[in-house]
Structure 1
Amino acid sequence: MQQTQLRNRGEFSLAPFRRPDNLRAVWQLLSTLVPTALLWACLPWIWRPLRLESLLIAPAVALLVLFSARSFSLMHDCGHGSFFRSRALNRAVGFLLGVVNAIPQHPWSRGHAFHHRHNGNWERYRGPSALITVEQFQQLSPEQQQRYGWSRHPLMLFPGGFSYLVVRPRLQLLLGLAEWLAAMTGELRRDGWRALFSLYPRTLSFQSSHWYTADEFIDLAANNVCVLASWWLMSRWLGAGLFWGTYAIVMTCSAAIFICIFFVQHNFPDSYAHRSNDWSYFKGAMEGSSNLILPGILNWFSADIAFHSIHHLCERIPNYQLRACHEANQHLLGECTYLRIRDIPRCFDLILWDSAQQRLVSTSEV
């Protein structure tokens, strides 16, 4: 990839594409959640062992995986406040889609906003895999280096994806509540029964290593209550075996898909990987974000997140306007990186940051 010669983001036409369209958003929501609900409703009739209709289980599960990945993309838009015009509607629908994806949307969106603010600044943000520097890698023992390489192998997307959606949010709540309980017990021991009168404000001001604000805690707790209730209801309706067998595959594979897409859109050959002192937001968007060339059906299921340079240039553009905005500015995007599906495997070789040369490298180069 050549270095872009563009001076600033003001050369782009972005404003005409920023305004959300509530009708298009509602249609996207319905065209995602209704088929998802119908597919789940059809499972008891499809899954008949030793019957011909059981052959339909594989395509049904594959479609559930794709619709799950799409619902995550729509949740991502809600987090940016770009899906609906109303902030409250984005928040409410984002919470709903967070329950569908088993992940608390508000804390996730705040973390994702940090990524947008620092994309390409590898001193501040090392991507979803928390990559290490060449210097840190060289300080590891050979066994540790080998384990690090294995932990960043593409096959780890599957157990990692299941943990990311199904396990981690539950664990965060439990560990955070354990921290809160320990802190409040310490307050009671220090101040005695008088501490009970200030329990509520102390709880609101409590700082956990698993959430940053009271709003994040409320969203995390509410998401867990709704998700656990949905798991119980679905298990009662479909049977624990059918539900968990299907759900585990769907969540594992859909998470693997969007984590893979996110990874290759920022970890690719010649990606912009600078230190803080000479970092540029604009270059982070143009040179630190790749654009994927995907079949049309995969663009639909991924809500056009493949047009990623424009998305990083202006995250307030709704997904249903990204393609039009990309095409309107095509003449300014010719020097950005474009990846095909066959290019994805080589991106997973780049798991180290060379801070001296300010580029991503593979372990074999080291």
Structure 2
Amino acid sequence: MTVSIAESVHGNYSGQKDQLQLKDIVKTLPREVFIKDKWKTWTMVTTNVFMVVLGYWGLTITPWFLLPLFWIFTGTALTGFFVIGHDCGHRSFANRRWVNDLVGHLMFLPLIYPFHGWRIGHNHHHKHTNKMGEDNAWQPWYPEDYEVAGTPMQLVYRFMRGRLWWLASIVHWAGIHFNWRKFEGQDRKDVKFSALVIVGFSAITFPLLIATVGVWGLVKFWLMPWLVYHFWMSTFTIVHHTVPEIPFTSAENWNEVEAQLFGTVHCDYPRWVEFLCHDINVHIPHHVSVGIPSYNLRKAYQFLKDKWGDKLYQTKFSWSLMKEITDKCHLYDREKFYMTFKEYNAQKVS
């Protein structure tokens, strides 16, 4: 897709933009895409658990030179655990809140991810998608913010926006989701509970792993699949909203429809990845309504595609896509969306 999102909305839909609301788009979707199907739900969980067990079994029997293949498979299957927890966080997994919270915590345990800390922050992302100053997922920096950030933070930012993008979600995980002090009331209690669950689980699991399979076993069975999980976590989330043609917008100019429907990317991945990760890449309908379970995303996307056609941003996962994002989407320019670090440095010199 070559037409920019700004052109799509401000051009063809300039007369509708102020009138069209997200709830109007939600109403165009058929009721069945919102229905939670217990059979599909628990089949998804059972299949995912089987795939993870299969991956770990493979790690126990495979020769050393095939370990990378099983790390990739197991880490990708563990990403499916995250997607199930993701449904739980949006309450689209089950009707009962306690079921969502229980399953969400269980799915996040092997990932060492605090459920409520992620859930609350992630819902903020949905409420303020691509809004400068508010969105907490891959929000770019303005050049003037980068200027005053200090050398250590500039280096971290450059790594996250460059070829080490796949480590960025580790920084996000460590720096945000365990800090319950920034919340108030019940949210603080929930975030603290989830963080302590993860700390307690880690205090038992890691020493037990080292005692039974040694440090190499910890690396082999946990660290390497965990890094693969973070590769997908980082990749999915940056691609969802960060391409050169999609704008971030100041609060006063932010429009919900433009951000959620036209500012979200549909990216096709190899089918085995989509299967193991429960179609999290079919992301546009998820931003139209978080109430759509992951197993209904494709059906919902087809309805949106029939309605909006080529106005939706669609692409395909490839090295060239990641190279374009990590080469171009560095600092945020208010007029042309993004500038590269090279352009920033040239601007400073001049």
TM-score calculated relative to the size of structure 1: 0.79
Partner Cα separation in structure 2 for residue 155 and residue 113 of structure 1: 26
Q: What does the per-residue CA deviation read over 1:240-283, in whole Å, with 9 as the maximum and x for residues that have no partner? A: 32222342111112112111110121111221311111211111
Identity %: 16
Q: Which residue of 2 aligns with 1:350?
A: 329
Aligned in 2, Cα 1:172/1:67: closer, same or farther, shift over 3 Å? closer
How big is the shift at 1:302?
A: 2.4
Q: In 1, are the aligned partners of 2:118 and 2:177 still within 8 Å (CA)?
A: no
Tell whether 2:329 aligns with 1:316: no
Q: Which residue of 2 aligns with 1:133?
A: 142
Tell whether 2:219 aligns with 1:244: yes
Q: What does the per-residue CA deviation read over 1:178-216, in whole Å, with 9 as the maximum and x for residues that have no partner? A: xxxxxxxxxxxxxxxxxxxxxxxxxxxxx7248851121
How big is the shift at 1:31?
A: 0.9
Tell whether 2:34 aligns with 1:18: yes
Q: Which residue of 2 aligns with 1:197?
A: none
Aligned in 2, Cα 1:147/1:95: closer, same or farther, shift over 3 Å? closer
Deviates more, 1:207-216 or 1:297-306: 207-216
How big is the shift at 1:164?
A: 5.1
Aligned in 2, Cα 1:131/1:329: closer, same or farther, shift over 3 Å? closer
Q: Which residue of 2 aligns with 1:337?
A: 313
Q: In 1, are the aligned partners of 2:209 and 2:217 still within 8 Å (CA)?
A: no
Paired residue type of 1:364: K
Which segments of 5 or more consecutive residues in structure 2 lack a partner in the other structure? 345-350
Q: In 1, are the aligned partners of 2:331 and 2:340 still within 8 Å (CA)?
A: yes
Q: Which residue of 1 aligns with 2:8?
A: 3
Paired residue type of 2:247: Y
Partner Cα separation in structure 2 for residue 172 and residue 322 of structure 1: 27
How big is the shift at 1:150?
A: 3.7
Partner Cα separation in structure 2 for residue 147 and residue 63 of structure 1: 29
How big is the shift at 1:358?
A: 7.3
Q: In 2, are the aligned partners of 1:272 and 1:287 still within 8 Å (CA)?
A: no
Partner Cα separation in structure 1 for residue 156 and residue 336 of structure 2: 24
Partner Cα separation in structure 2 for residue 221 and residue 20 of structure 1: 30
Paired residue type of 2:307: L
Secondary structure of residue in 2 paired with 1:250 = helix
Q: What does the per-residue CA deviation read over 1:263-310, in whole Å, with 9 as the maximum and x for residues that have no partner? A: 121111221311111211111112221110223222212221222111
Tell whether 2:181 aligns with 1:208: yes
Q: Which residue of 1 aligns with 2:51?
A: 35
Q: Which residue of 2 aligns with 1:71?
A: 81
Which segments of 5 or more consecutive residues in structure 1 lack a partner in the other structure? 47-52, 177-206
Q: In 2, are the aligned partners of 1:21 and 1:85 still within 8 Å (CA)?
A: no
Q: Which residue of 1 aligns with 2:249?
A: 274
Q: In 1, are the aligned partners of 2:332 and 2:339 still within 8 Å (CA)?
A: yes
Partner Cα separation in structure 1 for residue 152 and residue 259 of structure 2: 34
How big is the shift at 1:363?
A: 2.7
Paired residue type of 1:35: M
How big is the shift at 1:312?
A: 0.3
Aligned in 2, Cα 1:210/1:253: closer, same or farther, shift over 3 Å? farther
Paired residue type of 1:31: T
How big is the shift at 1:328?
A: 2.1
Q: What does the per-residue CA deviation read over 1:28-77, in whole Å, with 9 as the maximum and x for residues that have no partner? A: 1111112312432453333xxxxxx4444232222111111111111111
How big is the shift at 1:84?
A: 2.0
Q: Which residue of 2 aligns with 1:299?
A: 274
Secondary structure of residue in 2 paired with 1:338 = strand
